[in-house]
Amino acid sequence: MKYTVIIDSVAALPESLIKARPIEVLPVTININGVPQPDNIDESGLIDIYTSGSLSIKSEISTAPPSSEQIQEFILTRVVPYSDFAICQSLSKTTSPIYDNFADVEVQIAKKAREVRAKLGIETPFRMTTLNTGTTIAGQGLVAIYGDLLLNKGTDLQDYTKAIDKFTKLVKTYVIVRDLLYTRKRSIEKGVKTVGIGAALIGKTAGLIPIVEICNDVVTPISTKRGFENALDQLVEYAIDRIKDGLFAPVVNISYAGDLADLYGLSQIKKLQKVAKQHKVKVFFGIMGLASSSVYGPGGFSIGIAPKNQADKPG
């Protein structure tokens, strides 16, 4: 079965994985200080942005999700000529209209897809499925990895749909909020309820770093630590424990809005890699895209995991 997994650019995946697998990234439009920025997968370009200081609390940032028309054109040109199935996965539908726009295209695209394929001499029909992952960033990327694993081993579309629907309900995304004031400002700009300015100022002054959980279309504050490294240690220790307990998929997905070299030297990350290897779990590391870092800022960290122990939380 020729398929393409289509994700929006909020989903976090390593650039190397995207290039190696039948995965297409639907870009979200980002405007920073009046300058349109391509929300692409070029990790070296992303590092330059994060280290340049161009993305800060003083920056004027706006984002725009792709419209139904843009999505349809993207699929007709990038997917329809080469694949029989478009496997579309969106971030949580409670935070973006991308899922609804995918769904609109799904009911409209058949005729135009048939015309495109007829001109190329392709007789097999084109099909499209749409999934709300209920999550974002690293967890959303994990859903894409799992979906590709299923399809690559020959799972038919009906069985894939059942398996991926179940899996999305088990995926946990955790995000470390590096700068409370930055994320508060971006949340307000998007009309999202957030902490008051007083609490954000106190938290930033005290060096408090929140960890939030995003799954099943719900965002939940989990814990707060003093300092980024303490928050990171707590979250990574949680991932290590869940690997030991067992995972529904032998994959952990990590996304960082900065140079990954900052992480690789940390003792807790080395411990995670060692334990994962012992349990035959693959850990992916990638650089967070602009659509996500525009909300969580440079230095934001996210981890996606599907633990068999669904009850325990970080902290």
Distances (CA, A) of 59 to 29, 32, 35, 191: 16, 7, 11, 18
Q: For residue 27, name the pLDDT band (cuts at 50, 70, 90).
A: confident
Element (H, E) at 72: helix 68-78
User: Per DSSP, which regions of the chain are E strands?
Assistant: 3-8, 23-26, 29-32, 35-37, 61-64, 85-90, 127-132, 172-176, 208-215, 218-226, 251-256, 282-287, 301-305
Average of pLDDT values for 111-123? 96
* Other residues' Cβ atoms within 10 Å of the Cβ of residue 51: 12
- The HSE-up count of residue 239 (CA atoms within 13 Å, CB side) is 33
Average of pLDDT values for 33-48? 84
What is the structure's pLDDT at 294? 85
Coil vs helix vs strand at 82: coil
What is the structure's pLDDT at 191? 55
Helix, strand, coil percentages (3-state) for the chain, rounded to 5, are 45, 25, 35
What is the structure's pLDDT at 28? 86
What is the structure's pLDDT at 178? 80
Which stretch, 35-49, 52-66, 117-131, has highest mean pLDDT?
Answer: 117-131
What is the structure's pLDDT at 275? 98
* Other residues' Cβ atoms within 10 Å of the Cβ of residue 111: 8
H, E, C per residue of 216-231: CCEEEEEEEEECHHHH
Residue 165 has φ and ψ, to the nearest 5°, of -65, -40
Q: For residue 186, name the pLDDT band (cuts at 50, 70, 90).
A: low
Question: How many residues are there in the chain?
Answer: 315
What is the structure's pLDDT at 165? 97
Distances (CA, A) of 20 to 3, 298, 307: 14, 27, 26
pLDDT in tens, 268-315: 999 999 999 999 999 999 999 998 888 888 899 999 999 999 999 997
Q: How far is Cα 220 from Cα 235, in angstroms, rounded to an integer?
A: 15
Q: How far is Cα 183 from Cα 191, in angstroms, rounded to an integer?
A: 12
Q: How far is Cα 219 from Cα 193, in angstroms, rounded to an integer?
A: 11
Which pTM value belongs to this model? 0.93
Between 38 and 204, name the one with better pLDDT: 38
**Mean pLDDT of all residues in the chain?**
90
Contact 11, 287 (CB under 8 A): no
Going by C-beta distance under 8 Å and a sequence separation of 6 or more, which residues neighbour residue 165?
A: 131
What is the structure's pLDDT at 204? 55
Q: For residue 180, name the pLDDT band (cuts at 50, 70, 90).
A: low
Distances (CA, A) of 28 to 24, 33, 82: 13, 16, 23
Coil vs helix vs strand at 281: coil
Going by C-beta distance under 8 Å and a sequence separation of 6 or more, which residues neighbour residue 119?
A: none
Question: Could you tell me the domains of the chain?
Answer: 3-168 (3.40.50.10170), 172-305 (3.30.1180.10)
